[in-house]
Structure 1
Amino acid sequence: MDRATSALGDSRRGVQVELPLAVDRESGVALAVQVGDQLRAAMRGGALQAGERLPSSRRLAAALAVSRTVVTEAYQQLYAEGWLDGRHGSGTYVADLVPGPAAPEREPPGLPVAPEPEPGPGWIDLRPGHPWVHGYDEAAWRRAWRSVGEFSPASRPDPYGLPALRAQLAEHLRRARGVPASAANVLVTRGTGHGLDLVAATLLKPGDLAGVEEPGYPTARTVFAARGAEIVPVPVDDHGVIVEALPAGLRLLYTTPAHQYPVGGRLPIPRRERLLAWARRTGALVVEDDYDAEFRYDVAPLPALYGLDPERVVLLGTLSKSLSPDVGLGWLLASPRLLDAIAARRRTLGDRTSGPVQHAVATLLRNGDLDRHLRRLRLEYARRRAAVVALLGDRVKGDTAGLHVLVELPGPAVPEIARRAYEHGVLLDTTARHHHGPLRVHGLVLGYGSAALHEVKRGCAVIAELIRRTC
């Protein structure tokens, strides 16, 4: 093994950083990869910090007794991943966006899960389910909350929600989703999970069979199981739930037809019609999570299942992706009879959604501010989605909508790539936690909602390189 110590000058602080680098010519790993990995680890760990200058490729090659091509290739890869910046006539510098040092004791032994506390500045978070919360119109937000001063708190909150908000939501859903709803069909919730629990608490008895897509939304399984239901995994393909595979005896079926989570397919019209025919024939209720329906890129959204049969479908929606999870507001559309049963249960339990929050959201809808915000978000997310597709290519599935894609990979490669991405400061999710039983779909569930565009590009460049090496 050849070792060299290089003095890396810092043009800002006027100091020299002693950084030991080593190349092993017998390891079977390309020398350029070895150099790149060690430099990346030094930046990740804090030995090299943002703004520090690296030696020229000629100088470092001489110190390591390797060809200049080896160092040039290593630098080029780090440039592509966003770790380095080049300054014309000045040299190569550590980029200002280098993540801070990772705490070794927080690194998980297997699949990377989010460390506690949440990752701080410098990490690239490409986990799904997190939206961009920095692009809202601050003036519109302040107007909405000033209007709350006109709101008179009720001594007995309406279990259906504020009438003004229910009417605004019905109008919004008619425009955005083509859903023929009125305020009488709308109940205001605190989000999708809350809506699921209201339906489960009202309809499910211990031992009832609840179908959940496989792979699918883990929260749905958790909510139904907490109510005593037996979870029945229902297989999906690239288009969504497979109707012909639906088992007998289901009390309800949870599905995400607008953008299947996490595979990303959208349920075609013929299959939607077969699904509704199945529901009428069996008496089962379809719980439709309108997940990601507001963010489509290549095609127009298909009609909601609820609009095709309001008697057999409950439609759930939320503002967590379009505004912020912190707002804590969603909606549930159902037949008036089911809505009455849910409202009666809420009244008994004292369950409610914040009145001031409802009033503020009603103002955003009434003024058209939420619609304008959604238009801005679609443009922002479309740029990130394009970057993901450009960098990860043919392995990407489910990119026509929403804030996540599936990067399909051979099963054995998935945990290794996720682990290595974590070491590079990139947080990912995999399909493993979205299965109730044995894994059917293997890959990375990559969310591009919360990371900025430059972070998405850098994170995807890291992933692309790890895929190239591993697969």
Structure 2
Amino acid sequence: MARGDTALPVTLDRDSAVPLAVQLADALRESASTGHLRGGDRLPSTRALAGRLGVSRTVTSAAYEQLHAEGWIVGRHGSGTYVTTSPPTPASRRDHLVPDDEPAVDLLVLTPGVPWADGIDRAAWRRAWRAAADTPPLWRAHRRGLPEYRGVIAEHLLRHRGLDAATDSVLATGGTTAAVVELAAAVLRPGQLVAVEEPGYQRAVRAFRAAGLRVAPVPVDSQGLRPDAVPPGVAAVYCSPAHQYPMGSRMSASRRVELVERARSEGFLVVEDDYDGELRYDVAPLPLLASLAPDVVVHLGTTSKILTPTLGAGWMVAPAGVASAILDYRDETGTRPSPAGQRVLVELARHGDLGRHLRRLRRELAERRALLVDALRRERVPVLGDDAGAHLVVPVGSAEQERRRLAEGRRRGLLLDGLARHFDGEPSAHGIAVGYAGCDRDTLRDALGVLVEVLRPARR
């Protein structure tokens, strides 16, 4: 989420009786609470800020120490000081949380990554949980995941993603981020270089860095990640080829071939995040990278976007050496995904409820996307992203325009997402990411007028 050192609107009054350190802490706190500074913004070092303000480093250090104690900022070893994503927020400040956190109750959530949980058939949901509870308690853990769960996932991948994966090659995970954490700890080594999409999934970036890996951002365009921009010497490339997050593009067939050929010739892994690959509405999806090159691709999937994060269940299909390293890591650390969500998914699949939900989900989200795109384009609002997934992107011309639209959306009751927080470095594109799965269709339709007003270009 770091966006580079952020310009700070700080003015210190040297004639005031208030100590300079207190003035500085107050100014930074106000900037964070009003939205000028957002979660993940990197602050200047105490030395650099002291130089900018013409004060001693004692002043800036004291201000940072106070804000750190209050929970507004956090230091990351070897990286810098950052505004936290969840500063202490009494009720009057709740609407300043970033989209990853629980939003204010009076805002309509239109951010990416939120599933259509209300669309899950409640009778099927209750039936699955009751049936899961009827199974005997486990007396030992399954480090690969429950055999019946892995069988369901193998069938799901074949039916919905065209991946012919044997049950034995499927590993259960706790979701995409949990799988990345395991890969970073068990397969990769501290100091190695990992290429990631820019903009991209910043939780994966943080997971790689937490494991001591170096991260190289690679630009994306309308055809997805650019393999020609992947630097030499990488140990892995992390990407979302089916529906790039957050820009919504699909990696072209030629780039898929180019990427896997480079992976084979240079000896690196490709980590394929297929977070919502089941959700495509225009044409059949291109073959998974794991289908093209199972020897160098680690395929990741999750139930959190097609069903709900409640299950905490995902999957990994990986080359034998990678799978073996993951299993050894689980043995050594005693960690493994919880079987509870796995059991529920098995029961949903056993009665055909999983397939019925996916068919209904595709129809519903396709109609919502068409509704939203039509409304935006009627007002000449540009839209980015393939006809897929549960979000789209409206590009804007500058970081300031992005901030203004986010603030205007909040003022008018809409929680939107900006592209800035999806960049690891300085943003090279600006825009608003709009999710359309988290509310019911009538609510979305009622909000269209306000949404279009917030997003449409300024009239001359």
1:279 to 256, 263, 272: 263
The amino acid of 1:226's aligned partner reads A
Q: SS state of the match for residue 184, structure 1?
A: helix
4+ long deviations beyond 6 Å = none
Q: Deviations over 1:5-51 (max 9, x none)?
A: xxxxxxxxxxxxxxxxxxxxxxxxxxxxxxxxxxxxxxxxxxxxxxx
- 2: distance between equivalents of 1:397 and 1:404? 10
1:396 to 368, 383, 388: 383
Deviation at 1:125, TM superposition (A): 0.7
Q: Deviations over 1:388-421 (max 9, x none)?
A: 1012125111141101111111113111111111
Distance 1:131 1:117, change over 3 A: closer
Equivalent residues in 2 for 1:275-424 (5 A)? Answer: 275-393=259-377, 395-411=382-398, 412-424=400-412
Residue 441 of structure 1 is matched in structure 2 by 429
Q: Deviations over 1:54-90 (max 9, x none)?
A: xxxxxxxxxxxxxxxxxxxxxxxxxxxxxxxxxxxxx
Equivalent residues in 2 for 1:3-402 (5 A)? Answer: 105-106=93-94, 108=96, 113-114=98-99, 118-120=103-105, 122-393=106-377, 395-402=382-389
The amino acid of 1:228's aligned partner reads G
Deviation at 1:104, TM superposition (A): 5.4
- Larger Cα Rg: Structure 1 or Structure 2? 1
The amino acid of 1:314's aligned partner reads V
Contact 2:366 2:388 in 1 (8 A): no
The amino acid of 1:431's aligned partner reads L
- 1: distance between equivalents of 2:265 and 2:238? 17
Superposition RMSD on alpha carbons, in Å? 1.9
How many percent of aligned residue pairs carry the same amino acid?
A: 43
Distance 1:469 1:161, change over 3 A: closer
The amino acid of 1:433's aligned partner reads R
Deviation at 1:360, TM superposition (A): 2.0
Count residues in correspondence: 366
Residue 39 of structure 2 is matched in structure 1 by none
- 2: distance between equivalents of 1:117 and 1:398? 26
- 2: distance between equivalents of 1:417 and 1:355? 42
- 1: distance between equivalents of 2:365 and 2:144? 33
Deviation at 1:454, TM superposition (A): 2.8
- 1: distance between equivalents of 2:266 and 2:100? 44
- 2: distance between equivalents of 1:117 and 1:189? 24
Give unmatched runs, 5+ long, in structure 1: 1-101
Residue 464 of structure 1 is matched in structure 2 by 452
Contact 1:429 1:446 in 2 (8 A): yes
Deviation at 1:115, TM superposition (A): 10
Deviation at 1:288, TM superposition (A): 0.2
Distance 1:106 1:470, change over 3 A: farther
The amino acid of 2:362's aligned partner reads R
Q: What is the TM-score when the length of structure 2 is the normalising length?
A: 0.76
Q: SS state of the match for residue 397, structure 1?
A: coil
Deviation at 1:463, TM superposition (A): 3.0
The amino acid of 2:404's aligned partner reads E
- 2: distance between equivalents of 1:468 and 1:397? 14
Q: SS state of the match for residue 395, structure 1?
A: coil
- 2: distance between equivalents of 1:205 and 1:137? 44
Deviation at 1:197, TM superposition (A): 0.9
Distance 1:468 1:177, change over 3 A: closer
Deviation at 1:387, TM superposition (A): 1.6
Q: SS state of the match for residue 118, structure 2?
A: coil
- 2: distance between equivalents of 1:373 and 1:203? 35
Distance 1:327 1:116, change over 3 A: closer
Deviation at 1:211, TM superposition (A): 0.8
- 2: distance between equivalents of 1:115 and 1:365? 29
Deviation at 1:117, TM superposition (A): 5.7
Deviation at 1:138, TM superposition (A): 1.9
Contact 2:94 2:103 in 1 (8 A): no
- 2: distance between equivalents of 1:331 and 1:339? 12
Deviation at 1:148, TM superposition (A): 2.1
Deviation at 1:356, TM superposition (A): 3.0
- 2: distance between equivalents of 1:116 and 1:270? 38
Contact 1:210 1:229 in 2 (8 A): yes
Give unmatched runs, 5+ long, in structure 2: 1-89
Deviation at 1:349, TM superposition (A): 1.1
- 2: distance between equivalents of 1:342 and 1:105? 42
Deviation at 1:123, TM superposition (A): 2.1
The amino acid of 1:409's aligned partner reads V
- 2: distance between equivalents of 1:358 and 1:469? 46
Q: Deviations over 1:289-346 (max 9, x none)?
A: 0122111111111111001111100000000011101111000011223212101111
Q: Deviations over 1:104-128 (max 9, x none)?
A: 54454xxx735976321x4211111
Q: Deviations over 1:127-164 (max 9, x none)?
A: 11111111112222222222224422233211100111
Distance 1:360 1:107, change over 3 A: closer
